[in-house]
Structure 1
């Protein structure tokens, strides 16, 4: 679009302030600003801003009945019979053997909170091998491909890996994979793509300028995955490959079971469009999002949305009624992902994150480094599509936390949990359990054993998913 066309569009959307310094810029800076403005739909930004600024936090959380997921929508690997686990596992392996399963990794985060300037997936949690999170996960894919070939007799098993980065992490992530020779995976089966960004706005809905020639932008949240799957050509690539089933997860979980055959088999046995994994809450008061039924539809809520009485409510079994802790570990049918264009803008809500956003003063052009929140970053959440589904289209399976969930969120020494020390300890303790279950005797002085994923994908009670 030309300068005149862009200025007309932004003026019509009430966002003409982005041209405040245009005439004072040199030709190169003008071109840079126009290029960025051309990638933004100002009318869409203004619509989103008007919606979020007219909606109070109370409006989004009130009035709807919250209940535990019905038994028909959930199951548990903790209580399932060996027969059920075996059937789910075999069915999941059959789907992988047909080359109809892909994996999507949410890896847009930087390791800033961990004290690192690298993408979080590059982080070394301190294992004896010093393998990064990316390497651990790549080796699990290789191990599972080999295992499925061995169990099913099918050859040339491929589990494509789609890695969603953000603007700041795209280059470093690709460079890290190239430097490490893609961790033994075929380069043609790894696809990097980038989540979207949205302009930051002030408290009246006006787009902020970070510099005179640059709009302030921020990633659009993990819910931006849906728009990115379509716009970045990922969904098209999946369909060309014949992919029908997708496993999506976050990079910071060192225990994640990538393309878990049991999860795949469970989800497809329920004919689910979307399925999730959860872990039992540690305690009634644990600060964690919960997967529930809200107004008769699946949803994820904040722990603060239930009363203390509900948080402590128990079932006849003695288990907490509201215990399904969300770990952002999802199954999607490609059938469902094809519908993204019909709801990603019209249905998926945007959330307000009030932040301190560096910007320029429109009257003087002077840089502003705010000491308190001065603007808004707009985010979508990956689970906000759940309420558009019926409970019959959704399912959740509960798994053991110590075997499947150890998030890396904090710098060592700051919080005392969910850091590199706890992640490393959880992985080494798991390895110790595995080798002892296989008949080994582990010296009591050892706190754990590192079992490389390339050697063993998983050790699960009563199943064959173990290779030594």
Structure 2
């Protein structure tokens, strides 16, 4: 239809309709989407068969680290080109190749020699089984006679993937491992010939600590440096060892505010950013934040950040990067461990943070942007940021390239000691020495070992893995060394002669060993703080915590947090706080005083805190105080619980109420509470708590509430349109025009790419059979409908859809989308409803093992997960092999039936029964399902009853009455009050209880949980949009809060008529993120999933 003249289109459509409706022809669609379009237009259902694997012989070529192919469809692809080229301009190390989809794979797809050529091309770049068996790899044990062909092939693939990831490749890793293992076997002392001395640095503890002029000077100096800061969290740990079934940064730091560790850290970064914007005058300043994850925590971290909208941070300032694992080793010969077809891998240690930041280009980019400092910290220490400003001041004053935060160390304590190591030539290196190596090293000194000095502490400060780097010099050293810090090995020997290992080992690295990458002129120092302001953590489970002092568990960390905040307040002037008392929960004892929470929005440093605390402050035993926002407290007597927020000054207030108490959780109740409470054994019980929200007339509001999602799917004719002149004038479009118009791309060139990124603009070209048949990892946008912008296909094709005769055709009762699959006019964006309906039937949504990305940053994170790409490619190969067999068999049946029909006088009617069976079979590539089935009928009945219940006057009164009664509590700020949680719970219980009662009366046996589970399987389009909004508000606090704010402003809130009011000045483009999620068809049966693990279940009915 694309090249057909306008006057020919209508006759063609009529002829095609006659072919379909005559039922004397076999018509087979090449994709489910085509079959669906024909069904929509002509009300005739036809089967769909793909050609997957036919023209490539299901070629499998291992992926290499070459450039990424960005496939563009026509001229409108310039939009995607601009987006990706903008990223590429900032990341020169990552190469992209732009091609036009129409020109890909044209000449060689039928060449008989193609397969051999491509395989030969890749053999040159791939480690083979023979190479891995020979020196210097010497891994022949992995490919013995007892190993199956499948396992050998799998091991080769994995080792190739590892080879592409490891610095120096697999060869370098094995060479380093053999050297280190032989040194360990020989008992070589890595510190031989070095003399330990007390390191240079600043002492901000004791008399020079918080409250002293020295400390104040360093904080003031450091606060001037905040605008040049970047942050990095090393967050590779799971909480399983602690008894917490999730990632450690998801643990609640205190039960009063219920703020998780990652939320606390993000709040500190936001507060530092706010201060830096004010001081620098840069209102758009963003302080970058990187999170290094592991394979175990990466996806959980990405989901947690996305679910909580990055805790107020701009997603553009957050980079989540993953650390890869390294091969486990069986012996001193560095033979790699494997089980069945899988290579055993283990964590490489947090020293990888330097290499990962370098590999992703972050250190270089930040330095180029003029950032001055990088603050690196670990998870579950809620005090990390309390010493940030003072540490910045010390580094700025002393020009340190690296500054390690330290605390007074108790001799024998299991934390490393920072030493200045001097060799016989007079050269020195300031470095952390691990506690198990420190005592042997010190025995060679006059002290005779790890003993205390006159202060009662070790003269060598204790390292707590909070590091501050000078970014320009840091980036230089990473460029010179690729960020690979010297490794070590810690083997567990099985015999005295050290010839065998008890279990497999691996090389490890430590982030505090960065000084080994420094040059002689680089100044490396340390800053010592008192323990109470710098160090606590959640590192022990309940059983271990009972045996240790300090316990270093959730209870002790929370108690340390309250104690730190209390001491900081006491340093602000005339402040009296009741002394802590001993408490015991689940057999663990801690000193617990008044629960005082100083939110980062209140103060980021002691100096700032001093400016906000005035007059006489008195806090009694058992009291709770939460301080947040731009607030000043001038005189307070507290005997109970109080939360102060907003902006303004609280003067001379006396508060007395029943307060909040921490109550022990009974054993029977413990399994029912949240995991963060299970590892504590206690929870808060709010008896009475006063909340004071201050407001200052001088306050200038700089943030706006996000626009409410528009429930109506319809677009106006005058919606924002794509401007062709923008594309034509774009710099990247002119630069790449010649490259884009490549006439052909041979398979051997195509297969050398790491992956393909495909961006659509027209539903009719939602196909990539060539790319998929080559087993190339394919990336597509998660929200497909957003990309449907481009020329129309043919509005004239619609004329038969409304023809009365078509409605009476066979199977016309089968449900089809009401929206058109065609564009209304040239360059008119497809309507959202159209996109939601039609994109879900495309290969983009149905093929398995595709990767889905939400935006360019997420895309590039996934592109660098080499192991996942390799796994997806292997699964595509297996799927293509199966499809090749199935496709050939189905086409053989087609040919046989056609021949049989020719011999039959009733030709077409002889074929029809087979077609019906083909349509009705349960096949991933056939449109299946019957809306009249008992399951569908029951679900439809539930939907109808639910919508009636929601529209009932009694429900409307219940809903609106609750919102009007409580909306006055809600404020349009990022900070949330405690009462919000209680009201949200009341709202959910009230609404869900009422609906379930009404539904049970209408449909016996109905349960809301069962209905929601089925809805998630069928897809959210099965239910009215407004009802869906209501259901979302029952489980999504942000949606609930938004609704209450709308009611408070006089808006009716949730519109149950199907259309929400549009705010003044807003466009009508709906923000439907999350409404459409697509799940690839499962070729392997129930439970199979795509490579990206995209949740949801929006599938064709």
Q: How far has the Cα of 1:389 moved from its partner? A: 4.9
Retained in 1: the 8 A contact 2:536–2:560? yes
Q: Which residue, out of 413, 417, 420, partners 1:286?
A: 413
The residue number in structure 2 matching 1:301 is 433
Q: Which residue, out of 304, 324, 332, partners 2:469?
A: 332
Shift of the 286–389 alpha-carbon distance from structure 1 to 2, 3 Å rule, reads farther
Alignment of 1:415 onto 2:528: no
Retained in 2: the 8 A contact 1:298–1:391? no
CA distance in structure 1 between the partners assigned to 2:213 and 2:459 by the alignment: 27
Alignment of 1:312 onto 2:444: no
> Which stretch of the first structure deviates more once superposed, 397-406 or 233-242?
233-242
Retained in 1: the 8 A contact 2:337–2:504? no
The residue number in structure 2 matching 1:424 is 558
The residue number in structure 2 matching 1:452 is 599
The residue number in structure 1 matching 2:402 is 274
> Which stretch of the first structure deviates more once superposed, 19-28 or 37-46?
19-28
The residue number in structure 2 matching 1:350 is 487
> Which stretch of the first structure deviates more once superposed, 43-52 or 86-95?
86-95
Q: How far has the Cα of 1:309 moved from its partner? A: 4.1
Retained in 1: the 8 A contact 2:237–2:247? yes
SS at the partner of 2:399? coil
1:128-277 correspondence runs (5 A)? 128-151=256-279, 153-257=281-385, 260-277=388-405
CA distance in structure 2 between the partners assigned to 1:274 and 1:224 by the alignment: 17
SS at the partner of 1:74? strand
SS at the partner of 2:544? coil
Q: How far has the Cα of 1:3 moved from its partner? A: 5.6
CA distance in structure 1 between the partners assigned to 2:213 and 2:386 by the alignment: 22
CA distance in structure 2 between the partners assigned to 1:102 and 1:141 by the alignment: 9
Shift of the 149–202 alpha-carbon distance from structure 1 to 2, 3 Å rule, reads same
Q: Which runs of 5+ in 2 are unaligned?
A: 1-63, 65-121, 423-427, 494-500, 582-592, 614-629, 632-1101
CA distance in structure 1 between the partners assigned to 2:360 and 2:535 by the alignment: 29
CA distance in structure 2 between the partners assigned to 1:28 and 1:17 by the alignment: 14
Q: Which runs of 5+ in 1 are unaligned?
A: 357-371
Retained in 1: the 8 A contact 2:537–2:553? yes
Q: Which residue, out of 119, 126, 132, partners 2:247?
A: 119
Q: How far has the Cα of 1:259 moved from its partner? A: 8.1
Retained in 1: the 8 A contact 2:400–2:525? yes
Alignment of 1:380 onto 2:514: no
Q: Which residue, out of 404, 420, 430, partners 2:534?
A: 404
User: What is the root-mean-square deviation of aligned Cα atoms in Å?
Assistant: 3.2
Retained in 1: the 8 A contact 2:405–2:526? yes
Paired residues, number: 445
CA distance in structure 1 between the partners assigned to 2:199 and 2:521 by the alignment: 8
CA distance in structure 2 between the partners assigned to 1:18 and 1:36 by the alignment: 16
The residue number in structure 1 matching 2:138 is 14
SS at the partner of 1:92? helix
Alignment of 1:33 onto 2:162: no
Alignment of 1:91 onto 2:212: no
Shift of the 137–60 alpha-carbon distance from structure 1 to 2, 3 Å rule, reads same
**1 or 2 for the larger relative contact order (CA 8 Å, sep ≥6)?**
1
SS at the partner of 1:105? strand
Retained in 2: the 8 A contact 1:247–1:259? no
Q: How far has the Cα of 1:421 moved from its partner? A: 1.0
CA distance in structure 1 between the partners assigned to 2:265 and 2:158 by the alignment: 39
SS at the partner of 1:6? coil
> Which stretch of the first structure deviates more once superposed, 403-412 or 332-341?
332-341
Q: How far has the Cα of 1:209 moved from its partner? A: 4.2
Q: How far has the Cα of 1:118 moved from its partner? A: 1.5
SS at the partner of 2:597? coil
> Which stretch of the first structure deviates more once superposed, 203-212 or 77-86?
77-86
CA distance in structure 2 between the partners assigned to 1:66 and 1:443 by the alignment: 44
Q: How far has the Cα of 1:214 moved from its partner? A: 2.3
Deviations 1:168-208 (A, max 9, x none): 11100110111111111111111011123211111133443
CA distance in structure 2 between the partners assigned to 1:112 and 1:278 by the alignment: 28
SS at the partner of 1:193? strand
The residue number in structure 2 matching 1:65 is 195
Shift of the 410–3 alpha-carbon distance from structure 1 to 2, 3 Å rule, reads farther
Deviations 1:93-145 (A, max 9, x none): 22223xx2101111111112211232211112452222211111111111222
> Which stretch of the first structure deviates more once superposed, 450-459 or 168-177?
450-459
> Which stretch of the first structure deviates more once superposed, 176-185 or 240-249?
240-249
CA distance in structure 2 between the partners assigned to 1:29 and 1:87 by the alignment: 60
CA distance in structure 2 between the partners assigned to 1:464 and 1:222 by the alignment: 38
Q: How far has the Cα of 1:257 moved from its partner? A: 1.1
Shift of the 382–162 alpha-carbon distance from structure 1 to 2, 3 Å rule, reads same
Q: How far has the Cα of 1:161 moved from its partner? A: 0.7
Deviations 1:315-336 (A, max 9, x none): 5xx4545240100111111213
SS at the partner of 1:284? coil
SS at the partner of 2:237? coil
CA distance in structure 2 between the partners assigned to 1:461 and 1:230 by the alignment: 35
Q: How far has the Cα of 1:252 moved from its partner? A: 2.4
Retained in 2: the 8 A contact 1:297–1:389? no
Task: Give the TM-score of the pair, scaled to structure 1.
Answer: 0.84
CA distance in structure 2 between the partners assigned to 1:89 and 1:134 by the alignment: 24
Shift of the 28–344 alpha-carbon distance from structure 1 to 2, 3 Å rule, reads closer
CA distance in structure 1 between the partners assigned to 2:606 and 2:365 by the alignment: 32
The residue number in structure 2 matching 1:393 is 523
Retained in 1: the 8 A contact 2:402–2:469? yes
Deviations 1:6-47 (A, max 9, x none): 125423322244444776218995785365355352211221
CA distance in structure 1 between the partners assigned to 2:251 and 2:396 by the alignment: 34
CA distance in structure 2 between the partners assigned to 1:432 and 1:74 by the alignment: 25
Shift of the 408–426 alpha-carbon distance from structure 1 to 2, 3 Å rule, reads same
Retained in 1: the 8 A contact 2:417–2:461? yes
Shift of the 255–218 alpha-carbon distance from structure 1 to 2, 3 Å rule, reads same
SS at the partner of 1:46? helix
Retained in 2: the 8 A contact 1:140–1:258? no
SS at the partner of 2:311? helix
SS at the partner of 2:602? coil
Retained in 1: the 8 A contact 2:386–2:534? no
